[in-house]
Amino acid sequence: MEIRKKCNLERMFHDMKDDIRYDLKDTAFTDALLKGDTEGVLALFRDRKMFLDEPSAVDSPYGRFEGKEGIREFSEGFLERFGADKAFLDPVFQTVSGGRIALEAVVGFIVEDAVEEVPFFFVFDLCGRYIEEVRIYCHYSFVPGLTPYRKPIFRPAHLEMGDPGLLTGAMRCYYEALHHAPYCDPDMIHRSFSDRCIVGGYEPWGTPVKTVEEMTKEAHSFGNFLATYIPACVGMRYETIIDNGRTCVIEWVHILSKQGREERNRIAMSGISAYTRDDEGYLCGVRICDYAGHEAEIDWTKTPVSFEEAVKINFVDEFPKGCGMKEQREY
C-alpha cells in the first residue's frame, strides 16, 4: 500500500530499535485501540484509580477522557479523529520502569487506501493488572483540526526545575546544563552527547531525514541554540521519569518567565522527551515532542482555556540564579 505521508521516527532510529515485549499492557491497549475493539480497551481499566480519588483517564492531544465512559468515547472516536478506517502499529522504543511504560511507535493510519504515518509517545501508568492513565503525545500538525496548545497535564509542586539528583550520568549532566540560569551551558550539554548522536523523530510530515553525520553536527549545535533562551525564558520541569538504564523518558511542563512571555511569546504547555544512551553512557538519541515555536499559530477559540488564563499558568518573574537553587534555610 502506498505510504502517502511518511514520518521520521522509525527511519531515523531503525538501528537503535528495541526488542518489543508484546505481553505488557501497552501493546494490549494499542492493539485493541487500533482494531476498534473498544470493549478490549475498557477491559484494561478500572473506572477509578486504586489509590487516588479520581477517575482513570486517557489524556490525548485533543482532550482528556475520564472514567470508563470517557475512555469509551476516546476509543470509539480515535480512528475517525485521524480520518482513518483502519490502522496498524510499528513499535520503535519501549521503556519500562517504575510502574510505567513509555511506548514510542509509528501508527500507520489507512486513509483513502493510502498510509499516513504518525509518530506517537504513549505513556502508561500501571497498577496491578490495570492501566490507570494513558497520556498520548504527537505533534499537533498530525491531528486534523488541532491548534498548537497543550495545557499542562501536571500541576508542579513548585515553579522551578526538578531535583537534579533524580537523574543519573549523561541525563543529569544534560539537565543541569540545560537549566543553569540565566542561560544554559552549551559546553556541558555537548559533553553529554556521543560522537554520533541523532536528534529528532517527531517532526511534521515532509521533514527530510538527514545523514547521521549531519544530525550529529546539528546535535552539537543544539546546545548553542538552546542557550539563546533556556532557561531565562522557559524551563522544563520534569513530572515523570521513566528510565531503564538505556533510555530515559521525561514528561514535563513548561515554567514560563516574564522574559519568555514578553520577548518570545511563550506559553506554558506539556511536552515529552526521550534520551537514549550508547554503551559508554553518552546520549546517542534525543527525541522531543512539543509545540515550541508555534505559539503564534494558536487559535484561542479552540483551546480549553482562554489566552488570559493560559499566560498565568506556571508563571514566574524569573528563575533563581545557578542551577535552579532556592535560598536555603540556615540550621
DSSP string, 217-266: HHHHHHHHHHTTTTBTTEEEEEEEEEE-SSEEEEEEEEEEEHHHHHHH--
CA distance linking residue 74 with residue 142, whole number of Å: 17
* Residue 211: DSSP 8-state: P
pLDDT at position 210, please?
86
Q: Tens digit of pLDDT per residue, the chain (331 long)?
A: 899 999 999 999 999 999 999 999 999 999 999 999 999 999 999 999 999 999 999 999 999 999 999 999 999 999 999 999 999 999 999 999 999 999 999 999 999 999 999 999 999 999 999 999 999 999 999 999 999 999 999 999 888 888 888 999 999 999 999 988 889 999 999 999 999 999 999 999 999 988 889 888 888 788 888 899 999 999 999 999 999 999 999 999 999 999 999 999 999 999 999 999 999 999 999 999 999 989 999 999 999 999 999 999 999 998 887 665 566 566 6
Nearest-angstrom CA–CA distance, 290 and 276: 18
Longest dimension (CA), the chain: 69
Both ends of the chain: CA-CA distance in Å?
A: 69
Task: Give the other-Cβ count within 10 Å of 229's Cβ.
Answer: 18
Nearest to 171 by CA among 284, 307, 302, 283: 283
**Residue holding cell 489507512?**
110
278-305: string of b/e by CB count within 10 Å (b at 16+)?
beebbbbbbbbbbbbebeeebeeeebee
Phi, psi of 325 (to 5 degrees): -85, 130
Q: Which of 194, 216, 202 is nearest to 104 (CA)?
A: 202
Say what the pLDDT of residue 164 is. 85
Cell of 182: 540565566
Contact between residue 20 and residue 91 where contact means Cβ atoms under 8 Å apart: yes
What is the pTM for the complete model shown?
A: 0.95
Q: What residues form DSSP beta bridges with 130?
A: 127
Q: Record the cell numbers describing residue 185, joined without a space.
A: 551551558
The contacts of residue 266 (CB under 8 Å, 6+ apart) are 233, 234, 254, 256, 260, 292, 295
Q: Which domains does the chain have, with CATH numbers?
A: 3-142 (3.10.450.50), 164-324 (3.10.450.50)
pLDDT computed for residue 325 by the predictor: 56
Q: Count the residues in the chain.
A: 331
Do 274 and 102 form a contact (C-beta atoms < 8 A)? yes
Is 260:106 a contact under the CB 8 Å cutoff? Answer: no
**Distance between CA 316 and CA 294 in Å, rounded?**
21
The alpha carbon dihedral of 189, 200, 135, 97 has a sign of negative
- At 279, give phi and psi (nearest 5°): -65, -20
Packing angle between helix 67-81 and helix 25-35, nearest 10 degrees?
60
Confirm if 35 and 27 have CB atoms less than 8 A apart: no
The reported pLDDT for the residue numbered 279 is 97
- What whole-number distance in Å separates Cα of residue 205 and Cα of residue 144? 13
